[in-house]
Amino acid sequence: MTTDAMNAVAPPAAVPVEARGLTKRFGPLTAVDRLSFTAPRGAITGFLGPNGAGKTTSLRMLLGLIRPSEGAAFINGRRYGDLPDPLRAVGAVLEASAAHPGRSARNHLRIHAMAGDVPGSEIERVLQVTGLDGAADRRVGEFSLGMRQRLGLATALLCDPDILILDEPANGLDPEGVRWLRQLLRGLAAEGRTVLMSSHILAEVAQTVDRVVIVDHGRLVAEAALPELTAGHDRGLEDAFLRLTGHAPEGPR
């Protein structure tokens, strides 16, 4: 069996998120190089790497927004495009500024509610969950970056998905907002949902995630439970990350 044929065979449906041999080339540039990892149920998986490591490209391939050059990505055992109800399977935040600046937050959510065939009561639920109920009728163009992040999360949660894929969800949040996000994601994982999030805020990741996937130059360099990864590193996740990606100074741990 060829490599492509092996990659086309779906994994067991019990695996919520799996990348298998993902590769993406843009002309001569290989942005993602034979990347394989999983994100299990009931856990928050941190997806980490230096700038330009291929994190966003990988997430876009998981969501079917970019076609892999090789390999495959699976959501609940299927490619994203083959999911019967993708909005109810996966909630995603890839860009905080995705909402039209001229629409109110409520109207933005109404459009997505119609697309997902969910009742209007769900709009009110996610506005309250994300703390936007008091700003629901303001135009998105008036929102701060942190408020746009909250709106992106409200949109991702609208169809009550079992899987969340989030690209830098803490960007723009103040300390209270970061703590709120941490508690929200922990609560979702405790309900048995799958959370895959990229971030560059290592101190916050260390307080939030259960396991870590680290990539560098498009390749996997580590995949482990957080305590396993940080064992023996004096400065915890930051030290482990910098050493694994080749950015730590020489010397004893």
Closest CA to 82 of 101, 63, 110: 63
The C-alpha R_g of the chain, in whole angstroms, comes to 18
Residue with tokens 């997430």: 59
Tokens of 170: 């803490």
In-domain check, residue 104:
yes
In-domain check, residue 109:
yes
- Counting the structural domains of the chain, the total is 1
Q: What is the pLDDT of residue 233?
A: 75
Q: What is the pLDDT of residue 9?
A: 54
Q: What is the pLDDT of residue 248?
A: 54
Q: What is the pLDDT of residue 14?
A: 61
Q: What is the pLDDT of residue 95?
A: 78
In-domain check, residue 140:
yes
Burial of 77 (0-12, 13-18, 19+ CB in 10 A): middle
- Is residue 140 within 8 Å of residue 105, measured between CB atoms? yes
Q: Could you give the CA distance from residue 204 to residue 222 in angstroms, rounded to a whole number? A: 19
Closest CA to 134 of 124, 120, 148: 124
Q: How many of the other CB atoms lie within 10 Å of CB of 99?
A: 24
Could you list the pLDDT tens digit for every one of the 253 residues in the chain?
344 444 455 544 568 999 999 999 999 999 999 999 999 999 999 999 999 999 999 999 999 999 999 999 999 999 999 999 999 999 999 976 678 999 999 999 999 999 989 998 999 999 999 999 999 999 999 999 999 999 999 999 999 999 999 999 999 899 999 999 999 999 999 999 999 999 988 999 999 999 999 999 999 999 999 999 999 877 799 999 999 998 655 444 4
Provide the b/e sequence for 13-36 (b: ≥16 CB within 10 Å): eebbbbbbbbbbeeeeebbbbbbe
In-domain check, residue 130:
yes
What is the span of the domain harbouring residue 129?
100-159
Q: What is the pLDDT of residue 232?
A: 80
In-domain check, residue 60:
no
In-domain check, residue 70:
no
In-domain check, residue 13:
no
With a CB cutoff of 8 Å and minimum separation 6, the contacts of 123 are: 106, 109, 110, 113, 158
Q: Could you give the CA distance from residue 145 to residue 171 in angstroms, rounded to a whole number? A: 8
Q: What is the pLDDT of residue 15?
A: 87
Q: Could you give the CA distance from residue 39 to residue 45 in angstroms, rounded to a whole number? A: 6
In-domain check, residue 169:
no
